[in-house]
Structures are given as structure tokens and as C-alpha cells.
Structure 1
Amino acid sequence: MRICGTGSEGGKERGFTLLELLISIGLLALIVVILGGAMRLGFRAIDAGERRMDALDRYRTSFGILTAQLQSAAPLTYDEEGEKRYYLKGDDRSLRFATNRSIWGEDRGCVIVSYRLEAGEGGRLSLYASERPVGMEGTREVRLFDDLKSLSFAYYAREAAEEKGEWTEDWSDDTRYPEQVKLRFIRGGGEAEILVPLYARAKK
């Protein structure tokens, strides 16, 4: 079958066979499918990029909160069996201390904040933070990270007569205050280490 039309070259008849027409339609459909696939891939790439940016922003914000709270740590004590004990206690997976900086940015005075790691889905770790005003009830909690492979705390201190100190993964000392806290974490994007000086130590 031929679909004909009048041509301009020598009055010759020109036209397309049904097969040629079907091939043209098929090629057009293939082009549409390819373009549609490319657009979907593009949208997915944009969406994945936005998710990565959101995750990075969340990490920066969360670590900014943690760092600010540590830098505002206060060497407060509480009474236990007639002895003064620092609120600051920690190990490699948890940390508690008093700070003048609230996670929620409210003027709540001095608060006791606790950070702890918990196992999540797929072997991932989540870091939770909870805080309450000193001497009051009512704890608020928030999850800061939920896709960590690893996170650990370490504490640096030195004796008054020593020039060099040492790092430890457990802090329960009630006679002195650490000079620095180290956070080491691993996530999908790599590994990083943050050193946070505790300025409040100089005010003791």
C-alpha cells in the first residue's frame, strides 16, 4: 500500500509506503520514550541531590548545636551523699553535662543535656539529645542524626603539674574538668573528627 501525493520534481508521484510510515511512527515513539527516560533520570538526580543537600544541612546544623552546647558548658555540680559531683559524665557512646545553651534556643537558664547513641535500622546509629532545666522536671528530646555508621566521644585532660595530658573514652572524674571533647563519626559521606574546647574550665 502506498500513500501518494503530487510532487514538484518533473510531476513525478511521491509517497510513503505503509511500512515507511510505521517505521517513522515507531522512531518517533522511541525518541519520546528515550526523552521521557532521560527526564525521569534527571528528576531523580535532582531529587537525590536535594536530599543530599538536606542531609548535609542537617549535619551542619546538628553538629553546630552540639558544638555550641559544649563550648557553653558550665562546670556545675550537684550534691550526692554529701559530696560535690560534676554534672559532666560520659563514655564513648553517651555524654551528659550542664550548659547555658538550649537546643531550642530558649532562655531556659542552665540546662542539663544528655547525648546518647541508639542502634537503628540496617545497623545504622541514631544520636538523640535530651535536656531539662537544672532542678526542674520536664525533659525534651530530639533526634539529631539517624544514619551514622559510627560515632564516639573522647575526653582530654591533664594534671595541673603536667604539660601533656591524655585522652580517655570514659569520664567520671569529680576532681577536675576535661579541657576538650572529641567527636569522631563515620557516615556514608566519609569520616570526620571534631575537637571542641571547653572554655568553662578556665572559669572554675
Structure 2
Amino acid sequence: MGAYDQRRERARPHAYAGERQVARVPDRRHGPLGREASPRGRHAPDLGREGAAGRCTQVKRDARGFTLLELLIALTIVGALLVIAFGGMRVALAAWRKGEDRAEAHQHVRSIALVLARSISATYPYTATREQGPTPSLLFGGTATRLELVTQTAPYPASIPVAFTAVVFEVSTKEDRPGLVIRQRVLPNRNPFTDAEVAFNDPTVVELSFSYMDEGGAWQDSWDTEQRKNLPRAIRIGVGTRIGGRAETLPPLTVSLRVGTE
């Protein structure tokens, strides 16, 4: 008996035939029938019908979307952003148009000055009678706002090539033809300046000035060939325009004369 009892004490216990070993199932925190578990703990007391009603209310509140107030606020923000964007575009467009107008006005006054400079640089000491005078004289004369000369490069050439053209530059204040007026008459001809015909008129030119450099390098406001008997060494031109209320004045342009006479 003693040996038998010792063997039974050392033996491992055996499970009964009717018992089965079952592994523990992990808790995935899901309620019965697959419904989502309550946020409360697994072993928390059941809240009953009031707790279930609270959970249903929370689900419905999250699923209903934006309210009318939220929609109005969103539309207000979008409208404000659109107003800011279109305002910026309007300012940029106005600045672009302003720059284009300024560039156009500057280019216009520059083109006028270049036309005058090209003809003045080709001034020739042409001698002929003025009006009905019997004595030939140098066909050149100028004041601060008017210039008469004979050039080999007419501002607007005739249909046939000619060597010399009498030209008059002035700013007219007449209502029918205001602004810059350029008159031309081919030579030889009588009364080259008084009978010259209008070849160009630009009403946007509101300012035209001339200065004449003498032999000593001083600038004069007028030039009379009856007294000086020669051409000036250079002529300084000033041109100003007004387009659409915008005034544009070009810096004075000095043109040297290539020939002179005593």
C-alpha cells in the first residue's frame, strides 16, 4: 500500500472524459449580434433604455451633415474670397492698362520728335527769292514755336522723287486744325513757305519749342538769316503731347546740322 500510494501522489492529474480544454477568446469589444459596444467598460453597469437612446441620438446627429447656419457661413467665406480675388484682378488690370497708356503716349511723342529730327538733320542752305523779293536769300528762319527750312529728307516724301523740299513746323491754335501742323512744298517754287500745303496734322501735340545754337555755342530763341547769313550749328527740339488727359513731354533733343554757309 505504501508503494501504491507513493505512485499515485507523483502521477499527474488527468482530466475527466467529459471535460474539454477551450482556448480563451480575445475580447474585440463588440456587443451582442455584432453591434458596436458601448464606450463604457466591459464590466460597467448597463444603462438600460436611456443609454441606448443616447447612443442612437449621437449616431443620428453625426449623420445629418451641415446645418443651414454652417452652410450660410461657408457661402459667406467663399463669397468674401471671390470678392478679394476679383478685386485683385481689377487692380492688376487697371495697372496694366495704365502702363500700356503710358507706354503708348511715350512712344507717340518719341515718334513725332524723330520725324522732326530726321528732317532737320538734313537741312540744306538753299538760296532763293522770298515772296516777291528780287534778291535771293537763305531759305531758313525760326522762332521759339515755328521753324522754316529746306531739307533733303521731307517728313512725308512726294509721289515723285525731288531733291529739296520747303518745310514748315508749327503748333496751330486754330479750331479747325489744332496741334502740330507740318507744311511742305517742293522746290524750286515761288513762295515756298507761305504757299506750302498741309501734309500732316496731329492734334495731340500741345507743345513745340525750338532753340538755335550760334557760332559761340550759345542758345538763341530765334534765328534770322537776314542778319546772320548762315545756318545755326544745331537746333534743340522740345515736344509735348496730351492723350486722353495724360501729358507726356520728351526731354529736349539736340540735332546738329551737317552743312552751313556764310
TM value normalised by structure 1: 0.75
User: Counterpart in 1 of 2:148?
Assistant: 96
Give me the whole-angstrom Cα distance separating, in 1, the residues matched to 2:157 and 2:258: 20
Structure 2 stretches lacking a partner, 5+ long: 1-57, 242-246
Q: Once the two structures are superposed, what CA deviation does each residue of 1:153-181 show, in whole Å capped at 9, x if it has no partner?
A: 111222xxxxx253221212232221111
1:59 corresponds to:
109
Residue 116 of structure 1 pairs with residue 166 of structure 2: no
SS class of match (1:15): coil
- Sequence identity of aligned pairs in percent? 22
DSSP-derived class of the 1:73 partner: coil
Q: Retained in 1: the 8 A contact 2:144–2:222?
A: yes
Tell me how many residue pairs correspond in the alignment.
185
Q: Residue 252 of structure 2 corresponds to which residue in structure 1?
A: 193
Structure with bigger gyration radius: 2
The runs of 4+ residues in structure 1 deviating greater than 6 Å are none
Counterpart Cα distance in 2 of 1:105 and 1:27: 65
Question: Which residue in the other structure is 1:70 paired with?
Answer: 120
Matched, 1:182 2:232: no
Structure that is richer in strand per residue: 1
* CA–CA separation in structure 1 for the residues paired with 2:66 and 2:165: 83
Contact 1:155–1:182 (Cα < 8 Å) also in 2: yes
Q: Which amino acid aligns with 2:179?
A: S
Find the partner of 1:126 among 179, 190, 211: 179
Q: What is the CA-CA distance between 1:99 and the residue it aligns to?
A: 0.6
Give 5+ residue unaligned stretches, structure 1.
1-9, 159-163
- What residue number does 1:4 align with? none
Residues in 2 aligned to 1:138 and 1:94: alpha-carbon distance in whole angstroms = 14
Aligned residue identity for 1:87: L
Q: Distance in 1 between matches of 2:224 and 2:139?
A: 9
Is contact 2:180–2:203 with CA below 8 Å preserved after alignment? yes
Once residues 173 and 85 of structure 2 are traced to their aligned partners in structure 1, the CA distance between those partners, rounded to angstroms, is 43
- Residue 82 of structure 2 corresponds to which residue in structure 1? 32
Contact residue 183 and residue 193 of structure 1 kept, 8 A = yes
Name which of 214, 232, 240 aligns with 1:157. 214
Change (3 A) 1:191 1:71: closer
Q: Cα offset for 1:191?
A: 6.0
Which residue among 118, 141, 150 is the counterpart of 2:199? 141
Whole-Å Cα distance in 2 between the matches of residues 119 and 14 of structure 1?
79
- Cα 1:47–1:30 change in 2 (3 A) is same
Contact 2:181–2:198 (Cα < 8 Å) also in 1:
no
